[in-house]
Amino acid sequence: MMIAMLSFGVVVAQTRVITGKVTDSKGNPVPGATIKTKSGETVAADQNGAYKINVVTGDILSVTSVNFATASIKVGNSTTIVVALNGKDSNLDEVVVTAQGIRKKSRDIGYSYAKISNEDVNVGRSPQLAQALSGKVSGLAVYNVNNSVDPQVKVVLRGYRSLTGNNEALVVLDGMQTTQTVLSIINPNDIENVTILKGGQAATLYGSAGINGAIVITTKKGEKGKLKVSYALSTNFDQISFLPKFQDKYGNGSHYANSYGQGGYKTDYLERMKDNWRPFENQQYGDAFNGEDRIIGRVLEDGSKNILPYAAIKNTRSKAFDIGNTLNNQVSFQGGDATSSFYMSLENNRISGIVPLDKSDRNSVRIASTKEYGKLNVGFTASYVQASYDRTSFDFYNDLINQAAHIPLANLRDWQTNKFANPNGYYNDYYNNPYFNKDNNRTKYTDANLQGNFDLNYKVSKWLALYNRLGVMNNSRTQKNTTGKFLHSDWAKNSAYVPAPWDYANDYDGIDRAGTDNLGAVSDYTKTENVINNEFQLRFDKDFGNFSNKLTLGYSIYQRSTKEMAVNSNSVVVPGVYNVSNRQGELTGGESNTMERKYGYYADLTTSYKNWLIINGTFRYDVTSRFYKSTRPTSAYSYPYYGVALSFIATDAFPTLKGNTLNYAKLRVNYNKNGNDNIPLYGLDLNYPNGAGFPYGNAVGLTVGNTSPDANLKPEFVTSYEVGGELQLFKSRVSLDVSAYTQTSKGQVLTVKVPNTTGFSNLLINVGEAKNWGYEADLRVQIIQKSKLKWELGVRYSYNDNKAVDLYPGINEFQLGGYSYANTNVIKDQRFPILKTDGYKYAADGSGMRLVDPVTGYPLRDVSLTGRGGTLPRHIVGATSRLSYGNFALAINFEYRGGNVIYSDLGRQMTFTGAGKWTEERTPHVFPNSAYLDGSGKVVPNTTLQAQESEYELWVSHYRRISENFTTPGWFIKMRDVNLSYNVPASLITKMKIFTGASVSLYGRNLFTIVDKSNFYTDPEFSFTTGNGIGINNTLQTPPTRQYGFNLNLTF
Amino acid sequence: MYKKTFIMKYKSIYFIAVLAVIGIGCSKSWIDINTNPNSLPSATPSFVLTNAMNTTTTNIINANETGSYWAGHWTQSSSYILSPETFSYNFTDGNFNYWDGLYDNLQDYQYVIDNADANDQKYFKGPAKIMKAYIFSALVDMYGNIPYSDALKGAASLAPKFDDQKVIYENLIKLLDEAIVDVKATAFASAFSGADIIFKGNATSWIQFANSLKVRLLVHQARVAGKEAYITTEINKIVTEGSGFITNKEVGVGGTTFYIATAGKTNPMYDRWAYDANGATRALARFPRPAKYLFDVLIGTDDTLRLKRIAYAKGGERGATPGTSNSPEIIANYVGVPFGVSSGYTAPASSYIGPSLFVKGEFGRPFILMTAGEIQLSLAEIKQRFPAVTLPGTAQSYYEDGVRQSFRALGVANAIANANTLLAGGKANADWAASTDKLQAIATQKWLALVNFSGLEAWTEYRRTNLPNTPQASTVTGTKRPFRLFYPNTEAGSNTENVKAQGTVDVFTTKIFWDID
């Protein structure tokens, strides 16, 4: 013993070599794991998990690898150490990239966050990151507001805080503040992981930009080890999952019969329906289909007639769409040695859409590398993405539903060669051939995104490191919108006629719509955006006794500039040449430039007492150009804010709590107050823009701006509180994470509507107050954990609500957007946005009966708009199942959202055209559940009074105009994504000697969607805007689709 | 000792490095970039006035449209679904909001009035005041009590109180007096004629417009009890002033020196209801239709020459020979649409708005704010009702001149001779001598003189005189007609207390003060 002690003294400075192997808990090798010693050596394990490293006795080996918990092993006397890593069952020591790139251990974090791995992102092989995140994080709502080859999303964390300002989460890419554009263009396979920082505390360090939480994306930097080449191919089909419900009983017609009260009114509704039929109508209020041959449209110049059976064609509208296709090819290279790593990927993603001819093509390249030079760590990432889109700018969907069910739309695609499809011969007097309009109205644009980061980390001493990261981003769009020239023939304009026996006395000659020639148009648009962001940090890490401390002091500079230019011509002289020079008349256009700058100082201190009580304080001081004027006091444009978070690990503080049931318990609580420079750029100025249309040649015209800025405008503040807890039970096989939070946003910079009689329409002023609160729970259960069979279930629930506490004195509500008859609003003391629509007049006796006119029997419309409910879902549930058996794995994600209402303008439109299934009751009938008031004002239930012209007027003039009819609950259940994969066994692969790994999978997205039974219209997620006023959809979103496909992964 | 120097040395390096980086941000000049590069920080009155005049046209076109329907001049074709707001009077405070646009327009005139002196452009004040009076009178005629004295003050009065409509009318006469003084005080400089897209710097025309506007305001009050002395005094003041009224021309904005063949820069009437800048027919050309009753009145007095100027035959204008109809121009092809009918009159089967407003290619016609015929017919009514006024002519002479001016304004060939034929044709409400009810003749001819040009004024005159006896909308049972518009919900939502103070507005019973029955 004595000798041993002595020899210890001698060998302390001596190094020796040990060898070993890194394995997973089952003993399979873990290639590429990083092995570090306390004395400063770092090596990587090879392909078989083997490693060799210099150690000193008493050294501690720290072994890390992606997807495994870090293991620490004390080096004894043995020369061989096998390190078995535990899977990520326990994420207690997981390192999380938090705000400003500060890495923290999970247990030290005093607020709610979520980390999504590459594998979770890619379940459904979505080429779009935002969509891939849907339903996978509690508190996160991804609104897929539009469905096209360039889908639009709105990403919101924990609901709305701002009444009128931005509510969307910040996107941080490798530490750099970027924009939500990144979510649609980044190759999801390049992502190492995504950390979602949900609350205010998480994002205090990002300044104003992080007020709505942050999505922190970390890309792959390459795994150490020998060169690894991966190839992946995915291809999937995109198919309409549902269309609005159509009627298939009645053909084209409108109100041609003499109306009630007019001379010649026919009492037999069947006679009126016959009178209403016309071969050129867009509306579908003709007589019932009977299978006989009838003309559509008029006689063409060459005398030909398009005579077709008057009978519905099954699925004529859905056949008008194509089956879309996505093809994604990508290859990546990675590798490295003990001190360096690199990663490079190339991707091509091609989409052809469900709207014929619509397509997109994305090419991206990303390179990243890290290198250690002793105390200096250098890294960079650079990516370039170019995405081109070619779409119709026309409302194809709207035109489709304006065609009757017996029109063989799919046969009318070739308008260039088919005379009945050509605008000179197309049957419809009001709506042109949708295929012509689609082809003739195009928007083509290319988005290019160049982004790069360069970071340096210099370890000055054991407890101090110096860190600097410079990020740049350039986004550009070049866009050309074109409308082709088309001049109608004189025959079409004036002479095309309806032949006997289909003509009526008051018919006219010439196709009504042909009167308007299309002279073509070209508009050319470019936009560039440049962002520079530099972060300089001093990172201190020092323990004092039982206290371990980490302090980051930072300095941030941010600059963003944009430039937009547009030139338009409203004519095309030579058809097919789309250059603004090929025009008659003036060029129009404009220019817009912006520049904003900010700088800030921040500090982040984390002190941990015995690893079970951790306090984290943050402070930031910002100076922003948005509020700067040389005449304003410093306090008007610079502002401090701060936050504090506390974590308490009960199971470590009181080890007796730990047992077979409970193995980890943590409580967390935080408070913070964040400043936000939420003001429109240049919002401090009253300006004098050009009057509408000016200049007119040499005539100049200016107007006084409509928004008067308050002289005392200053940044607004958001105060947040959050409490939460984490529990891990049964050896971490069950884990539960819960949070509750509330956020109050005071002094919101609102554009307040003031009376126009003041001369201004709006005042920009700090007035609004809004409150936002909610609860979240994440439960994860490893039901089966056998060597071959594994099954894990996860359920995430979040509840969020908000309230507009205060608006401007005297103002109780204002509108966010929408139609005059259905719009979204902010109303004092209510949640926001609130959908308001006009509706039925109900009997005052509380019976719920709808009042009808006592003479005509038509429902009465209550013209004042009534609140119908909030448009943001209150409840979001995500559910995940992961099942694996040997080399097979099945992952499924579901999402439910509910507790909101939506308005579908589609319904109103389809009532107008008579395409909607709900308009099918055309026989004279008593309006359901109705009553009328007798002479004395008494409510009389209506059992006998039929709506006068149930075959037309009831629907078009009455039912259509009651927007309550098209307001439905917004809940849905979607199977977000599903993936069945098979890993080709290593035994097979090694025989082939080409690959080191191979897997195939079948996947799907949105395979089914369940919506409320009263929602006949469309996907409740869709919205006409990506602004705050979501909850209203129309025909500008293409129909909802499902995707299913096949994926192949190979590694070499 | 060694260790400490080591740290000291590095400390100073970090310190310098940190300072270097922070140094950029510390300077105020680095963030002094908050000046809007896209829009001007100030404006001279001349540029603001030009835009204001042009904006008046794009605002008043909307009020004129509704006025044209409710005066019975126009209705809609059944190629469009019938608008229940207009033709069943089924409207709310969310419809027909002409208020916001007009007050926005007024702000620009007020800016000119307030800043003309400081910019040494005094000559802009008079015309700006006249335009201000023109718009305020239109607002009173649609809404009654409105903010006037407290309006247009920006943040100084965020909830403008409403003034009594009768008092506003009196103040508008005073404002026009001031304007005339301003016009006479400072000669128009050449800078003015460039900015003035109405009279191109003609001071006399501006005074005549002011006088004409006074006549319009005064004749509106002709049936209000106890106003006789006031009207007589004010008319006599105009006679004494001596500049007279607009004659042999219309008050028009723009014209060929202003409008150009570019989208959105043609005459706004032409742009909306006829053709685009390149001559393609507007879809909305199929919407408004001359009413059948209008044709009946014209045919009843054999006034087919004006009819053929007011309307094109069914099928509209022949593009190849602008100014002529597609169908033969015989009376049988002039198909007016019964007011508010919901079916049976598609666009191609009925008459279009005629060449008095629209001829293909003539996008540069002035936008008419007021016609000379209207004023002559107003003078006829004043002379007929108040013979004591010192107006030099007789009621008959003003009446007949009004009809001749109408023929001229509509572009009837040989206007004077043809007007004289009508005036001597022996038909009641056309021939003065043959008209037993002179006031009815004046009202009928004024109603015709306002067709296509001054829809809002025609509706005002209809409400004031209940003449002519235009038919009720086909879709409406009973006799109710709107007497005014609702205060718009934008004002009610932001100036709530002051709007509430005006009491409950029922558009079918609450009348404007000059509407006595």
How many whole angstroms separate alpha carbon A831 and alpha carbon A396? Answer: 35
Q: How confident is the model at residue B18 (pLDDT cuts 50, 70, 90)?
A: low
**pLDDT, tens digit (0-9, with 9 covering 90-100), for B148-164:** 999 999 989 989 999 99
How many whole angstroms separate alpha carbon B29 and alpha carbon B276? Answer: 49
Q: Do B41 and A689 touch (CB under 8 A)?
A: no
Mean pLDDT is lowest, of A19-28, A866-875, B223-232, B252-261, for A19-28
CB B440 within 8 A of CB B429: yes
- When pLDDT is averaged across residues B28-36 and rounded to a whole number, the result is 91
- Nearest residue on chain B to A759, alpha-carbon basis: B152
pLDDT of residue A27: 65
**pLDDT, tens digit (0-9, with 9 covering 90-100), for A432-468:** 999 999 999 999 999 999 999 999 999 999 999 999 9
pLDDT of residue A66: 63
Q: Cβ contacts (< 8 Å) between A813 and chain B: which residues?
A: 493
pLDDT of residue A1: 38
Q: Do A701 and B51 touch (CB under 8 A)?
A: yes
Mean pLDDT is lowest, of A8-17, A741-750, B56-65, B384-393, for A8-17
Surface of B (234-293) touching A: CB under 8 A: 258-265, 276-278, 280-283, 285-286
CB A785 within 8 A of CB A801: no
How close B184 comes to chain A (CA, Å)?
25
CA–CA distances in Å: residue A648 to residues A83, A94, A544, A730, B282: 30, 17, 19, 20, 71
CB A748 within 8 A of CB A766: yes
CA-wise closest residue to A31 among A230, A228, A231, A225: A225
CB A347 within 8 A of CB A363: yes
pLDDT above 70 as % of chain B: 95
Q: Do A696 and B341 touch (CB under 8 A)?
A: no
Which of A263-277, A740-754, B387-401 reaches the highest mean pLDDT?
A: B387-401
**pLDDT, tens digit (0-9, with 9 covering 90-100), for A508-565:** 889 989 988 899 999 999 999 999 999 999 999 999 999 999 999 999 999 999 999 9
Indicate if the pLDDT at residue A930 is higher than 70: yes
How many whole angstroms separate alpha carbon A391 and alpha carbon A360? Answer: 8
Q: Do B281 and A754 touch (CB under 8 A)?
A: no
Query: B103 at the A interface (CB within 8 A)?
Result: yes
Which of A730-734, B326-330, B346-350 reaches the highest mean pLDDT?
A: B326-330
**pLDDT, tens digit (0-9, with 9 covering 90-100), for B408-417:** 999 999 999 9
Q: Cβ contacts (< 8 Å) between A518 and chain B: which residues?
A: 280
How many whole angstroms separate alpha carbon A464 and alpha carbon B3? Answer: 15
Indicate if the pLDDT at residue B19 is higher than 60: no
Q: Do B342 and A259 touch (CB under 8 A)?
A: yes
Look-up: residue for tokens 């884990």? A735
**pLDDT, tens digit (0-9, with 9 covering 90-100), for A953-985:** 999 999 999 999 999 999 999 999 999 999 988
Query: A694 at the B interface (CB within 8 A)?
Result: yes
Indicate if the pLDDT at residue B112 is higher than 90: yes
Indicate if the pLDDT at residue B293 is higher than 90: yes
Nearest to B151 among A625, A699, A757 (CB): A757
pLDDT of residue A11: 38
**pLDDT, tens digit (0-9, with 9 covering 90-100), for A665-716:** 999 999 999 988 889 999 999 999 999 999 998 899 999 999 999 988 999 9
How many whole angstroms separate alpha carbon B32 and alpha carbon A624? Answer: 10
pLDDT of residue A224: 80
- When pLDDT is averaged across residues A930-935 and rounded to a whole number, the result is 93
Indicate if the pLDDT at residue A148 is higher than 50: yes
pLDDT of residue A25: 66
Q: How confident is the model at residue B103 (pLDDT cuts 50, 70, 90)?
A: very high
- Nearest residue on chain B to A682, alpha-carbon basis: B36
pLDDT of residue A149: 87
ipTM of the complex: 0.90
Query: A983 at the B interface (CB within 8 A)?
Result: no
Indicate if the pLDDT at residue B225 is higher than 80: yes
How many whole angstroms separate alpha carbon B495 and alpha carbon A520? Answer: 45
Q: Cβ contacts (< 8 Å) between A585 and chain B: which residues?
A: 260-263, 277-278
Surface of A (413-452) touching B: CB under 8 A: 430
Query: A309 at the B interface (CB within 8 A)?
Result: no
pLDDT of residue B398: 98
**pLDDT, tens digit (0-9, with 9 covering 90-100), for A766-787:** 888 999 999 999 999 999 988 8
Q: How confident is the model at residue A80 (pLDDT cuts 50, 70, 90)?
A: confident
Mean pLDDT is lowest, of A527-531, A763-767, B192-196, B417-421, for B192-196
Decide: residue B11, CB within 10 A, 0-12 exposed, 13-18 middle, 19+ buried: exposed
How many whole angstroms separate alpha carbon B463 and alpha carbon B481? Answer: 9
Neighbours of B476 (CB within 10 A): 17
Indicate if the pLDDT at residue B516 is higher than 90: yes
CA-wise closest residue to A730 among A646, A659, A645: A659
Nearest to B41 among A584, A685, A813 (CB): A685
Surface of B (112-171) touching A: CB under 8 A: 146-147, 150-155, 157-160
Query: A258 at the B interface (CB within 8 A)?
Result: yes
Q: How confident is the model at residue A5 (pLDDT cuts 50, 70, 90)?
A: very low
CA–CA distances in Å: residue A1020 to residues A158, A429, A896: 19, 33, 12
Q: How confident is the model at residue A26 (pLDDT cuts 50, 70, 90)?
A: low
pLDDT of residue A9: 38
Strands A762-785 and A707-709: parallel
Strands (E), B212-305: 251-253, 288-290
- When pLDDT is averaged across residues B349-373 and rounded to a whole number, the result is 96
Residue to test with chain B: of A483, A539, A758, A951, most B Cβ within 10 A? A758
CB A850 within 8 A of CB A840: yes
Q: Do A759 and B48 touch (CB under 8 A)?
A: no
- When pLDDT is averaged across residues B360-372 and rounded to a whole number, the result is 97
**pLDDT, tens digit (0-9, with 9 covering 90-100), for A365-421:** 999 999 999 999 999 999 999 999 999 999 999 888 889 999 999 899 999 999 999
Q: Do B260 and A586 touch (CB under 8 A)?
A: yes
Q: Do B262 and A570 touch (CB under 8 A)?
A: yes
Q: Do A704 and B315 touch (CB under 8 A)?
A: no
Q: Cβ contacts (< 8 Å) between B489 and chain A: which residues?
A: none
In which order are the strands placed within the sheet that holds A967-969? A967-969, A901-904, A1032-1033
Q: Do A696 and B259 touch (CB under 8 A)?
A: yes
- Nearest residue on chain B to A754, alpha-carbon basis: B494
Q: Do B36 and A682 touch (CB under 8 A)?
A: yes
How many whole angstroms separate alpha carbon B160 and alpha carbon B151? Answer: 5
Query: A621 at the B interface (CB within 8 A)?
Result: no
Residue by residue, DSSP assigns A834-898 as EEEEEEEPBPTTSS-PEEB-TTT-PBPEEEEEEEEEESS-SEEEEEEEEEEETTEEEEEEEEEEE
pLDDT of residue A494: 86
Q: Do A262 and B341 touch (CB under 8 A)?
A: yes
**Chain mean pLDDT for chain A:** 90
**pLDDT, tens digit (0-9, with 9 covering 90-100), for A93-105:** 667 777 777 888 8
Q: How confident is the model at residue A864 (pLDDT cuts 50, 70, 90)?
A: confident
Indicate if the pLDDT at residue A65 is higher than 90: no
pLDDT of residue A130: 86
